[in-house]
């Protein structure tokens, strides 16, 4: 259950049962939806030159390329507009705050709990005119469509989209289901000098790391569960077709997020100039992500990360990192996965073999398209 973060992909996965949310696939779905909407259909020429932008997959880390327009630093004459899903807490909120404080961005906080988001923005001290809260519940395709509609009506350009929302349900005995999708066509129309689509990934989905080797390990297998629709109706709710495991579902979803980012890059970067990127922001052990974990875990996890693994980062620091991926003129490489070293300097990190498997990325994309009815 963790796909939220990817916002683009997941829609495909759990379209069938709405109501509950499974973290895993949410974020990723964004794009998919927009294709379904009327606007999108009308705009098919845009983003969908090669296939609908469902977002879900990846492509191998093709050689990362810099976006020329972006790196040449065209003069920005207006504030950028960035949509951040799940901006009501944790990393999303900290990023919204960092961008709003920069004075260069108008932040659209796409959140399922309007009041919570409003309170969060206020208590973070964000200037009123620097953000707009728009309702978005990634567990419902209808809500995603409605959000896309509302955003289009707002008349704002879409310059950067951050798929950040996620949930983690390590103690869940049963899977829950979700659906979603968003709007890349709009981004293609933006005249902003550096357009970006960012999907939050994680170290725990990468089995080429120590953290990624803590059981249960991410593994999408041959995607047979995904192909079965992940409906829970006489089919497996896990992408690899295995028994439900909440922690593994989260990690699998992160692999999908990172694959999706790469598939986007492969399909759309050259034609659109959009930068597609993913990142591991560090271990933000204090966020709401762990709210469903057992109390002992919640007690020990922050000190463990702070003093033992030293992977801990504060919410504020993680927000600055994601804000860099949104806005920093030196982070315009597309198709890459960003991480930060001990001195908080960014670098392009290597994804695991599975998370950089181009064939798998394509398959995740294609299966997802089918599941959300886009192909």
Give the range of 44-52, 175-183, 187-195, 201-209 binding ligand PMR by CB under 6 A. Answer: 201-209
Q: How far apart are CA 51 and CA 39, in angstroms?
A: 16
Q: Is 369 helix (H, G, I), strand (E, B) or coil?
A: helix
- Closest distance to ligand NDP from the beta carbon of 165 (Å): 3
The footprint of ligand NDP on this chain (CB under 6 A) covers a number of residues equal to 34
Half-sphere exposure of 218 (CA within 13 A, CB side): 31
Q: Does 89 bind ligand PMR (CB under 6 A)?
A: no
Question: What is the enclosing helix (H) or strand (E) of 189?
Answer: helix 184-189
Residue number with CB closer to ligand PMR (81 or 206): 206
- Closest distance to ligand NDP from the beta carbon of 122 (Å): 15
* The entry of ligand PMR, ligand NDP, none that residue 42 binds, CB within 5 to 8 Å by partner kind: none
On whether the CB atoms of residues 81 and 158 are closer than 8 A, the answer is: yes
Beta strands (DSSP E) in 167-222 are 196-200
Nearest to 36 by CA among 182, 165, 134: 182
Give the range of 100-108, 134-142, 238-246, 353-361 binding ligand NDP by CB under 6 A. Answer: 134-142
Give the range of 39-47, 126-134, 200-208, 320-328 binding ligand PMR by CB under 6 A. Answer: 200-208
Token pair recorded at residue 363: 């398959």
Give residues 182-201 in contact with ligand NDP (rule: CB under 6 A). Answer: 200
Question: What is the enclosing helix (H) or strand (E) of 333?
Answer: strand 333-334
Q: Does 250 bind ligand PMR (CB under 6 A)?
A: yes
Strand partners, 314: none
Give the range of 110-118, 137-145, 184-192, 198-206 binding ligand PMR by CB under 6 A. Answer: 198-206
Give the range of 149-157, 175-183, 203-211, 222-230 binding ligand PMR by CB under 6 A. Answer: 203-211
Q: Give the relative orientation of helices 315-327 and 90-102 as an angle to the nearest 10 degrees.
A: 60
**What track of x and - describes contact with ligand PMR for positions 154 through 173 (by CB under 6 A)?**
--------------x-x---
DSSP state of 312: B
Tally of CB atoms within 10 A around 318 = 27
Site for ligand PMR (CB under 6 A): which residue of 167, 203, 218, 331?
A: 203
- Closest distance to ligand PMR from the beta carbon of 313 (Å): 9
Give residues 104-123 in contact with ligand NDP (rule: CB under 6 A). Answer: 111-113, 116
On whether the CB atoms of residues 299 and 342 are closer than 8 A, the answer is: no
Length of the chain: 375
Phi, psi of 349 (to 5 degrees): -95, 165
First-to-last alpha carbon distance for the chain, in angstroms, is 25
Binding region for ligand NDP (CB under 6 A): 2, 4-5, 21, 26, 85-86, 88-92, 111-113, 116, 136-139, 164-167, 200, 202, 280-281, 283-285, 287-289
Name the site residues for ligand PMR (rule: CB under 6 A): 168, 170, 202-204, 210-211, 214, 247, 250-251, 283, 309, 311
């Amino acid at each position: 259950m963790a796909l939220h973060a990817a916002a683009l992909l997941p829609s495909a996965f759990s379209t069938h049962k709405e109501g509950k949310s499974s973290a895993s696939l949410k974020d990723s779905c964004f794009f998919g939806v927009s294709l379904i909407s009327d606007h999108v259909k009308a705009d098919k020429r845009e983003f969908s030159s090669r296939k609908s932008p469902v977002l879900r997959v990846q492509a191998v880390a093709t050689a990362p390329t810099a976006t020329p327009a972006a790196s040449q630093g065209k003069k920005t004459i207006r504030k950028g507009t960035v949509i951040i899903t799940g901006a009501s807490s944790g990393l999303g909120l900290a990023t919204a705050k960092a961008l709003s404080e920069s004075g260069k961005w108008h932040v659209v906080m796409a959140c399922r709990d309007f009041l919570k988001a409003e309170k969060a923005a206020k208590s973070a001290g964000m200037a009123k005119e620097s953000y707009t809260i728009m309702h978005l519940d990634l567990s419902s395709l209808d809500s995603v469509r409605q959000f896309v509609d509302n955003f289009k009506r707002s008349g704002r350009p879409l310059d950067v989209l951050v798929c950040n929302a996620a949930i983690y349900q390590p103690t869940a005995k049963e899977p829950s289901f979700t659906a979603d999708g968003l709007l890349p066509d709009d981004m293609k129309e933006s005249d902003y000098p550096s357009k970006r689509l960012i999907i939050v990934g994680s170290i725990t989905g990468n089995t080429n790391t120590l953290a990624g080797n803590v059981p249960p390990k991410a593994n999408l297998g041959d995607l047979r569960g995904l192909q079965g629709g992940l409906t829970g109706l006489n089919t497996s709710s896990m992408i690899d077709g295995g028994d439900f495991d909440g922690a593994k579902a989260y990690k699998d979803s992160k692999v999908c997020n990172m694959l999706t980012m790469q598939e986007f890059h492969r399909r759309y970067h050259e034609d659109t100039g959009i930068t597609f990127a993913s990142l591991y922001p560090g271990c933000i052990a204090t966020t709401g992500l762990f709210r469903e974990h057992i109390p002992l875990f919640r007690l020990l996890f922050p000190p463990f990360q702070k003093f033992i693994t030293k992977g801990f980062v504060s919410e504020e620091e993680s927000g600055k990192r994601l804000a860099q991926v949104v806005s920093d003129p030196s982070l315009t490489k597309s198709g890459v996965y960003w991480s930060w070293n001990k001195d908080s300097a960014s670098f392009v990190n290597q994804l695991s073999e599975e998370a950089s498997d181009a064939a798998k990325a394509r398959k995740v994309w294609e299966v997802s398209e089918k599941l959300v009815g886009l192909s």
